[in-house]
Structure 1
Amino acid sequence: MEKFKVNNREYTVDRLLGKGKGGYSYLVYDEKNFFVLKQIHHEPCEYYNFGNKLQAELTDYEKLKKIGIRMPKMLDVDMENERILKEYIEGETIYELVLNDKMENAYIDQMKNMCKLLYAANTNIDYFPTNFVVNQEKMFYIDYECNNYMEEWNFENWGVKYWSKTPEFLKYVEEHS
């Protein structure tokens, strides 16, 4: 069993949840609970420039918290090992719901309400559907990435292309299956 430490507390890896531009996310557990552990990586990303990835996560988390975005709590940060421990939100991702024909209009409505808060704060998030989990009919943004608002990258012009079985979504599925 693979294990990670976050500030000298040990967690056992259940499974890899996914790899993003900034890190690998794992479902981990201790003797009582499940968590998400994000291990920052320094692999190149041809379409995105980072400064200090860990500091960006911390800054973005605080900004989104202030805006009022529903997301998992950040529980601990290990600066030395570049690890973040987050609350685990159980549920299916929007990506899985679209893929399995279980997507509901209510989730688009929740996204539009989230966008009202974000746009008023001159902010975009990563609207890709793997970054959203539904738990008890409530949608959570499970990433912390955010950027200054740009119309071409807002939900209506970019994100929505992946929230139903569009040609863009189906191409992504084909390339990543």
Structure 2
Amino acid sequence: MELPKELSVNGASYTVKKLLGKGKGGYSYLVTDGAGEYVLKQIHHEPCEYYQFGDKMAAELNDYRRLSETGIPMPRLLAADLEAERILKEYIAGDTILDYVRRDQMRPEFVEQVRAMCRLLYPAGLNIDYFPTNFVVQDGRLYYIDYECNGYQEQWDFEHWGAAYWSQTPELTAYLREHP
């Protein structure tokens, strides 16, 4: 895939600096307007064998609203371009939890911070995607950088699913073999 040079949101143009990642719902790019850096997410419609989507853009905006109400640390939504299926959000610079685990530098306070998020999410009936690439540490504070959330199910909560990827476990080792 060739990296686009520029992308726009509601007519405002942004220079693409790099691809940050590809998820189930879209491509996230680090972009700049010359004054600041942001994340621009372009929704994609590529099939995903383990997840079913309806209207991805509506889901993204609804999930942001639901998560904002919980108060978990996450990037602010700055703009939404419904026609182009793009969102612009605050850029949280830092290493992901996966980076920390790969370097064998995981800290107990990061796990405590995700558990603090759980204490806000579970009473609201929500789970988030606890995979370690969805969490960035900036100045010692953990942020959930995705907006995906789903109704709470014990099998998909942090303790029963996510925690298996937050340390050097067989699950994470298998993932890293498939995604070097």
Runs of 4+ in structure 1 deviating by more than 4 angstroms, as ranges, are none
State the TM-score, normalized to the length of structure 2: 0.97
Q: Does 1:155 align with 2:162?
A: no
Alpha-carbon separation, structure 1, partners of 2:81 and 2:51? 24
Alpha-carbon separation, structure 2, partners of 1:131 and 1:13? 21
Matches within 5 A, 1:95-110: 95-110=98-113
Corresponding residue of 2:131 = 128
State the TM-score, normalized to the length of structure 1: 0.99
The share of aligned pairs that are identical, in percent, is 58
Deviations 1:125-158 (Å, cap 9, x if unpaired)? 0000000000010000000000000010000000
Partner amino acid for 1:139?
L
Match of 2:49 among 46, 53, 70: 46
Alpha-carbon separation, structure 1, partners of 2:175 and 2:89? 27
Deviations 1:42-86 (Å, cap 9, x if unpaired)? 000111111100000000000000011110000000110000000
Alpha-carbon separation, structure 2, partners of 1:51 and 1:30? 31
Matches within 5 A, 1:133-152: 133-152=136-155
Partner amino acid for 2:147?
Y
Q: Does 1:72 align with 2:75?
A: yes
List gaps (5 residues or longer) in structure 1. Answer: none
Corresponding residue of 1:87 = 90
SS at match of 1:174: helix
Counting matched residue pairs gives 177
